[in-house]
Amino acid sequence: MRVFLTGATGFIGSAIVPELIGAGHRVLGLTRSDEGARKLAAAGVEPYLGTLEDPQSLRDGAARAEGVIHCAFDHDFSNFAANCDKDRRAIEALGAALIGTDRPLLITSGVGMGAPRPGEMAREDVFDRAHPVPRVASELAGAALSEKGVNVVVVRLPQVHDTLKQGLITPAVAIAREKGVSAYVGEGLNRWPAAHVSDVARLYRLALERRAPGARYHAVAEEGVPLRDIAQAIGRGLKTPVVSLSREEAPAYFGWLAMLVGRDLSASSAQTRQQLGWRPTGPTLLADLEAMNYAAA
């Protein structure tokens, strides 16, 4: 299959590339720069120049492929709502090229969209259309395309990690370095789900090959890692004290991350494992945090 991959030079996309090529697929990789094009070509990818801000480039790229994986996202969290809206527009542009075909469009969302109620474990068969986090726009755009007959599949992500990056935990490390202490909120028993980037890349491939319209998959290897354990691992890595903060103290320490760091965001992947035969094998989140080179991070 010829696959149009957005985010091909990014953290997750660069792991998806060898997964697809190793399974015999050909990859058309979106990049905005000549440097990115050179990197993609060296990895065996056909470079395609375009941007998330240029819907025509996205439509044309999708039209040239037999399947689309959209994992690009602007991770500037100081402008999160606007970036979520940009993702909505990108999904609409990609889907416009696939109307009237059965070619799969894999879009990316967060596992929180599958929580039945705040604090309850997220599941694949749940979609909270009224979720307060702006990232819900991505799944709403996908649902609208599904109603037009586009073969949309949703991959929901937890904290995706290796020894260099760990999703939202990466900025938490930066904050702890700046503040001189590693913190969690309250007792720190609230949990975040996680998965190693290699397992996530394999799930994208399996979801693409299954081509199940309307499917939602959770790339969750660990249903929930307590934030206290995460803070303690960061403290050991940075050799800083570990402290508990009240909810009132959290904003001054965490900044924009305070709206998430006290939430319980556990998620299940039971349905995903059953449907795709996906079995995570990568290191755990805490193992990667312990193995990380904090001096170079």
Q: What CATH number has the domain bearing residue 231?
A: 3.90.25
Instruction: Note every long-range contact of 21-25, with CB atoms under 8 Å and residues 24 or more positions apart, other chains counting.
Output: 21/45, 23/205, 23/209, 25/1, 25/205, 25/208
On whether both 202 and 59 belong to a single domain, the answer is yes
On whether both 127 and 29 belong to a single domain, the answer is yes
On whether both 205 and 75 belong to a single domain, the answer is yes
Phi, psi at 72, each rounded to 5°: -75, 140
Alpha-carbon distance values, 228 to 8, 184, 225, 260 (Å): 33, 6, 9, 14
Q: What is the CATH number of the domain that holds 71?
A: 3.40.50.720
Structure tokens at 25: 């697929």
Band (121; pLDDT cuts 50, 70, 90): very high
On whether both 215 and 234 belong to a single domain, the answer is no
On whether both 117 and 183 belong to a single domain, the answer is no
pLDDT, tens digit, 9 for 90 and up, residues 65-95: 999 999 999 988 778 899 999 999 999 999 9
Q: State how far the Cα of 282 lies from the Cα of 275, in Å rounded to an integer.
A: 20
What is the domain range of residue 240?
161-193+223-267+282-291
Q: For residue 156, is it within any domain? A: yes
With residues binned 3-state (H G I as helix, E B as strand, rest as coil), the percentages for the chain, rounded to 5, are 45, 20, 35
SS3 state of residue 132: coil
On whether both 189 and 200 belong to a single domain, the answer is no
On whether both 58 and 200 belong to a single domain, the answer is yes
Q: For residue 176, is it within any domain? A: yes
Q: For residue 297, is it within any domain? A: no
pLDDT, tens digit, 9 for 90 and up, residues 262-276: 999 999 999 999 999
Across 215-241, average pLDDT: 98
Q: Could you give the number of structural domains in the chain? A: 2
This prediction has a pTM of 0.96
Average confidence score pLDDT of the chain:
96
